[in-house]
Structure 1
Amino acid sequence: MDLQLRGKTALVTGGTRGIGRAIVEAFASEGANVAFCARDAAEIAETEAALADSGVKVEGAVLDMGDADGVAAWVDSVAGRFGGLDAVVSNVSALAIPDTAENWEASLRVDLMGTVRLMQAAIPQVRRSDSPSLVAISSVSGREVDFASGPYGTVKSALIAYMAGLAFQLADAGIRANTVSPGNTYFDGGVWQGIESGSPEMFTESLALNPTGRMGTPQEVADVVVFVSSPRASRMTGANVLVDGGLSRGIQF
């Protein structure tokens, strides 16, 4: 299937590791130019180098998504240099799971307000696109109660509500807004690899909840994100798409 992304411009936050890196690679493989951000300059340079021969423009920037002025300036700069924006993906998370005051602050500042600031900056730019899409990465922890309830899960729930609101508010402008909620996703350097080594009992218990018998991969999530962002998903807006291998049990109406 041609996702009709060739020549489009995608913007991805947190694009050097895990799901974010896979999203950047998936957009590039579909012929889209990609701008991404992260906080580590060395990881940004490595990602750019890895995609240097992809045949598209891939450019990273050092950015803290808690910096409101920095986020707005980056979005405007990317739109200017790339000739506009078509698909925006908010992926960055503070991954602040334990229930502490510091983690509530980090989750609200980075996960929630980072997404809000990104969308506020991007909406005027994507209005000029003929296939505008906004996507936020939430989590199954935002849909049901689990070990990550607290700052992480609560803010992930808020992201689903926020994006659904944008979908309604922007529908008449042709701008689609959706959420993608991954289940447990395993990759080198990720949360679940850390739990596997640091809390093997919890890892085993969590793995047993997966009816597929395994955790997901970043690529499996990225493929869904890129499809939802593409013109081929033109009738999809206001949705929360689960990519969890059947981990969650609730029925969505």
Structure 2
Amino acid sequence: MSQYFNKQVFKAAWPICFGYIPLGVACGILGQKVGMDAFLMAMMSIFLFAGSGQFIALAMIGANTAIIPIIVTVGIVNLRHMLYGLILNQYISKESFLYRLIYAQEIVDETFAVNSVEFQKSNSKWTPKNAFGLNFVAHMGWVLATVAGVLLGSAIYIDTGLVSYALIAMFIGLWSFHFKTFKLVAVGVLGGILALVLSLWLDNMLNVVVATIVAAIVGAMVDNGDEVDKK
């Protein structure tokens, strides 16, 4: 078990769990407002570990939306997770099918960001087991936060509009791990600008998916150009 849960894993996981406190509580409060109890919220957080997708699902449930549109919308919003899985697969491809099946369920923006950084560090000692432990700790942090939100929902008032600000702050914090070179910062800025521009035409978070892919392609092209110049 020490391979999955150790000081290195908890050190990498705590910023995610800390960021999940306001977001998870707000998500739980929203769930309580649409009629969910603590058990249902726990089950939803376990099987739909998707952050923004869970907020969208709850909002659509509150609007009495049919189940098929909810599934389709959440699926579109989280298409980026497929890209995350393809990127991380190079580090976990030798693990068992069961490992990879469970690992895929645990991939979200935050765990992807931290795991990709840890795997890419020079002389990295980050292992697939460490990555699995990080995912599990982050997931449990989210589950506990959302359940707490349900329990607190009837007792206190929190403006769920503040969630967007907390979400942005957390992503900026995770992005700061990449503040190593001008190129990495530039690619991140490019992705953000593209997402804002594309939001004028694309709905359901497709702007984020497209912007991420385009910025990644541009970054890869710049890297390949630099490698060619060196040769």
Which has a greater percent of strand? 1
TM-score higher than 0.5: no
User: TM-score, normalised on structure 1?
Assistant: 0.27
Kindly indicate whether structure 1 or structure 2 has the higher relative contact order, using CA contacts under 8 Å at least 6 residues apart: 2
User: TM-score, normalised on structure 2?
Assistant: 0.29
Max Rg structure:
2
Which has a greater percent of helix? 2
